[in-house]
Structure 1
Amino acid sequence: MGKTLYLECYSGISGDMTVAALLDLGADRSVLDRVLKSLKVSGFETKISRVVKSGIDACDFDVVLDKEHENHDHDMEYLHGHHHEGHERNHAHGTGTAQDHHHHEHRGIKEITYIIEHSAMTENAKKIALRIFEILAEAESKAHNVPVDQVHFHEVGAVDSIVDIVSVAVCLDNLDVTEVIVPVLCEGRGTVRCQHGILPIPVPAVANIVSANHLYLKMTEVEGELVTPTGAAIVAAVKTKDKLPETFEIQKIGIGAGKRQYECPGILRAMIISQNAEIDEEKAQTEEFKNPEIGNNPKAENQETKDTIIKMETNIDDCSGEVLGFVMERLMKAGARDVHYVPVFMKKNRPAWVLNVICKEEDIETLQNIIFEETTTIGIRYSIMERTILPRETRTLPTPWGEVQVKVCTLNGKEQLYPEYESVAQLSREKEIPFTEIYRYIVLANKEK
């Protein structure tokens, strides 16, 4: 099962900060080195070190360029009078077309795609990296009113930016991160001077990414740019949720250092967390029914618990079953408790679907955004519903082929066992034993007890 990553962006986010934080979490440096050596890009080397930012020990990831690839024309001087190195080593925010003439190599999305596809990255890492580049390309295209395939970016095409984005993708894949929670991006204020002149903060590319991908931005009193285009694109590409579960455990912490000196610490804190909302609910219910006070109650074995759940519902026409299958997958991954859709006939006898989503209140916004993004619907209905829940707990049981997880519910003092699908499916794949054979064994073994 994949890991859940929480990115705490209170000092903003950039490409090198993200790489450093992921390396600090334990991403394999040798795997990253092997991929970077396979890139059809020259003129750089990477350095990983420890630094202290605002008294906090942090990992620093630095891409050192040779003289030919240094970004000499990237003037990042801020108007309040101080020159700061950028989070991403003086990346420019401007973008050019094919008619621009500079001494730098300018690469478009086609050239960058070729570099990634011919690297030693895994397919999943390639997918992540290409998505980040696509988001950047779309943002720059909108900012400068040119087609995506005609954008030759300094920000995206620069060697150090390519290395940062590829490194983020490799590290996320290596850590087996499948869920990413980013509640908010904290941004500074003021203006920044770059190759194309003076730009307001957030710079146009960042503003476009935030708008197009429904990210939450919080403006702070810090003077200067905290969120770089690459940092915003990384979040847009990998974020699956914007709310933390009510309770969770922190398994590991990684801290990545930025290059700028601001009033804020200048670090990105990344955490691998466990216990999603559903597990929290089951754990709370289990503890409730193990409580000694309940145990002393003669009616405890029949006791049930109640809670409140949200039902989201919408009618959808002009949508294929394949699309709805993908929507279901996204909704479940983003925190939905259950998803189903049924065929119906609407007015004028049009065939359509009714999509139903069961969720907790804190997940409504994330899930509704997925529905609006992926389907043709223009409205969603909500109902607050009470439900009764049997006490349940998760157990691990032995089988002749290995251990499996089961859900055990209690009613009138009797236990009913339900094998967990994913656990049975994984064992079936590993041992090449039919799914039904393992499932029946677990059920029958439980009945014989």
Structure 2
Amino acid sequence: MMRLYLDLSYGIGGDMLLAALADAGLDLHPLAEIFRNAGLTAQLCAAPEMRSGISGKRLFLEQAGDQPLRTMPDIEALLDALPVSDAVRERSRAAFWRLAEAEAAVHGCEVDKIHFHEVGAVDTLADVVGAAWALETLGISEVRASAIPWFTGTVCCAHGELPLPAPAVVKLLDGKPVRPSSFTQEMVTPTGALLLDMLVDTYDDAGSAGPAGRLAASGLGYGARDSGGGLRVFLLEDDGAVRETVWVLESHIDHLSGEDLGRAFEGIFAAGALDVLALHGIMKKSRPAVALRVVCEDAHLTDVEAAFFRETLTLGIRRTRTERTALPRKEATMQTPWGEVRAKEYTLGGQTFIVPEDDDLAEMARRTGQSTAALRRLLMAK
């Protein structure tokens, strides 16, 4: 499996993603055949393009004859007729429903009454279905993107002159991270915003930015409009590791006894903490203290923070959102001359390792008269 990273430094348009993936090595001929056989396009290809001395690719699409404005039922009928997998069809269908809901909210009408105008044209159908098809073809398991650049100005469309970002774009970007920029032109088109809503699983935050992993390929896609440096994509080999966002809570504690600190550990773990660590040091007035550091998932943040305050009686907690990488692991067992022990099995760099559980080793050490460390070395050497 592969992971995909989108560099949104210069925004995204609907045609830029397929162009960038083609530049990274994706063959678009099967996609072109799908649309040609459906009578929607006469041509769909990505051709080399040079801008500001940098080579990339641009998507060219020629529709087959005059195409009508389409409502959501029309789009659904087209999707049902396309020879694509059910996963591609349903992902595309969900995206168009999301777009219809955004347009209906902006214009104050029923979803099935929406005529898609510019975004209902054949090129948008190709962009959306093509993106879903491309991710399936490449075996993409996760999509991550940089923060979205904010932009200003106006744009002319079927509804007249509108402020940027266009109202439908704002609806589609709801809940997504944006950053300030000096751009005064349309950097994220409605179809581009739809692709972000449809595809991206996670976005960069202040604690982690950029692609991570073994780089397999990269590409640069230009749009029909000259909006800057284009869309860069990076294909990364999936090492099986799980990348997730966690919270780190920390406070300096100089008023608890060892017994109270131990009970605080128990209470914080019971609230859902992943890990608790005490780092010893000296604070103001030369007082011995600990920096109590707690790691928890977003789902348990409220409970863990409440337990932190309750168990330690601290007056303040610093918290930081950060990213961690966890190697794939599963429960296993190890057969030994002294019986079976539970273990963790994990993979790193294509190699599999099995580590015995400490509690089982401690019990075995008591029964055999050996040390836990000696037993661990013996079992790990096998």
Normalising to structure 2: TM-score of the pair?
0.64
Q: Deviation string for 1:183-213 (max 9, x for gaps)?
A: 31224321112222210000011001111xx
Does structure 1 residue 362 correspond to structure 2 residue 322? yes
Q: How does 1:109-188 map to 2 (within 5 A)?
A: 109-188=72-151
Separation in 1 of the partners of 2:5 and 2:348? 27
Structure 1 counterpart of 2:333: none
Q: How does 1:5-404 map to 2 (within 5 A)?
A: 5-39=4-38, 41-42=39-40, 44-65=42-63, 68-69=65-66, 105-211=68-174, 214-243=175-204, 247-262=212-227, 264-265=228-229, 267-274=230-237, 278=241, 309-313=295-299, 361-362=321-322, 394=347
> Does structure 1 retain, via aligned residues, the 8 Å contact 2:151–2:184?
yes
> Does structure 2 retain, via aligned residues, the 8 Å contact 1:21–1:268?
yes
Q: Deviation string for 1:415-447 (max 9, x for gaps)?
A: 599xxxxxxxxxxxxxxxxxxxxxxxxxxxx89
> Deviation at 1:130?
1.5
Q: Aligned letter for 1:120?
A: P
Query: Do the aligned partners of residues 183 and 202 (structure 1) sit closer, same or farther apart at CA in structure 2, a change above 3 Å counting?
Result: same
> Deviation at 1:172?
1.2
Separation in 1 of the partners of 2:77 and 2:353? 47
Q: Secondary structure at the match of 2:18?
A: helix
> Does structure 1 retain, via aligned residues, the 8 Å contact 2:355–2:380?
no
Structure 1 counterpart of 2:353: 407
Separation in 1 of the partners of 2:126 and 2:118? 12
Q: Deviation string for 1:101-134 (max 9, x for gaps)?
A: xxx6111111111111221111221122112212
Query: Do the aligned partners of residues 393 and 14 (structure 1) sit closer, same or farther apart at CA in structure 2, a change above 3 Å counting?
Result: same
Q: Deviation string for 1:393-424 (max 9, x for gaps)?
A: 6368xxxxxxx96333377265599xxxxxxx
Query: Do the aligned partners of residues 259 and 43 (structure 1) sit closer, same or farther apart at CA in structure 2, a change above 3 Å counting?
Result: closer
Separation in 2 of the partners of 1:4 and 1:448? 35
Separation in 1 of the partners of 2:377 and 2:85? 42
Separation in 1 of the partners of 2:239 and 2:296? 17
Query: Mind listing any 5+ residue stretches in structure 2 that lack a counterpart?
Result: 245-275, 278-292, 302-319, 325-342, 359-372
Superposition CA RMSD, Å: 3.5
> Does structure 2 retain, via aligned residues, the 8 Å contact 1:137–1:151?
yes
> Does structure 2 retain, via aligned residues, the 8 Å contact 1:409–1:416?
no
> Does structure 2 retain, via aligned residues, the 8 Å contact 1:187–1:225?
no
Separation in 2 of the partners of 1:186 and 1:245? 14
Q: Deviation string for 1:4-31 (max 9, x for gaps)?
A: 1101111110111011112222323232
Query: Do the aligned partners of residues 216 and 26 (structure 1) sit closer, same or farther apart at CA in structure 2, a change above 3 Å counting?
Result: same
> Deviation at 1:254?
1.4
Separation in 1 of the partners of 2:243 and 2:124? 39
Separation in 2 of the partners of 1:4 and 1:187? 26
Q: Secondary structure at the match of 1:362?
A: strand
Q: Secondary structure at the match of 1:10?
A: coil
Separation in 1 of the partners of 2:149 and 2:374? 52
> Deviation at 1:152?
1.3
Q: Aligned letter for 1:261?
A: D
> Does structure 1 retain, via aligned residues, the 8 Å contact 2:47–2:59?
yes
Query: Do the aligned partners of residues 36 and 4 (structure 1) sit closer, same or farther apart at CA in structure 2, a change above 3 Å counting?
Result: same
Query: Do the aligned partners of residues 146 and 125 (structure 1) sit closer, same or farther apart at CA in structure 2, a change above 3 Å counting?
Result: same
Structure 1 counterpart of 2:331: none
Q: Aligned letter for 2:31?
A: L
Query: Do the aligned partners of residues 447 and 174 (structure 1) sit closer, same or farther apart at CA in structure 2, a change above 3 Å counting?
Result: same
> Deviation at 1:63?
0.9
Q: Secondary structure at the match of 2:84?
A: coil
Q: Deviation string for 1:316-353 (max 9, x for gaps)?
A: xxxxxxxxxxxxxxxxxxxxxxxxxxxxxxxxxxxxxx
Query: Do the aligned partners of residues 278 and 47 (structure 1) sit closer, same or farther apart at CA in structure 2, a change above 3 Å counting?
Result: closer
Identity of aligned residues (%): 27
Structure 2 counterpart of 1:4: 3
Q: Aligned letter for 1:34?
A: E
Separation in 1 of the partners of 2:119 and 2:126? 10
Query: Do the aligned partners of residues 280 and 113 (structure 1) sit closer, same or farther apart at CA in structure 2, a change above 3 Å counting?
Result: closer
Separation in 2 of the partners of 1:279 and 1:190? 40
> Does structure 2 retain, via aligned residues, the 8 Å contact 1:15–1:161?
yes
Separation in 2 of the partners of 1:178 and 1:134? 23
Query: Do the aligned partners of residues 127 and 165 (structure 1) sit closer, same or farther apart at CA in structure 2, a change above 3 Å counting?
Result: same
> Deviation at 1:65?
3.5
> Deviation at 1:280?
8.6
Normalising to structure 1: TM-score of the pair?
0.55
Separation in 2 of the partners of 1:194 and 1:8? 27
Count how many residue pairs are aligned between Structure 1 and Structure 2. Answer: 281
> Deviation at 1:238?
1.2
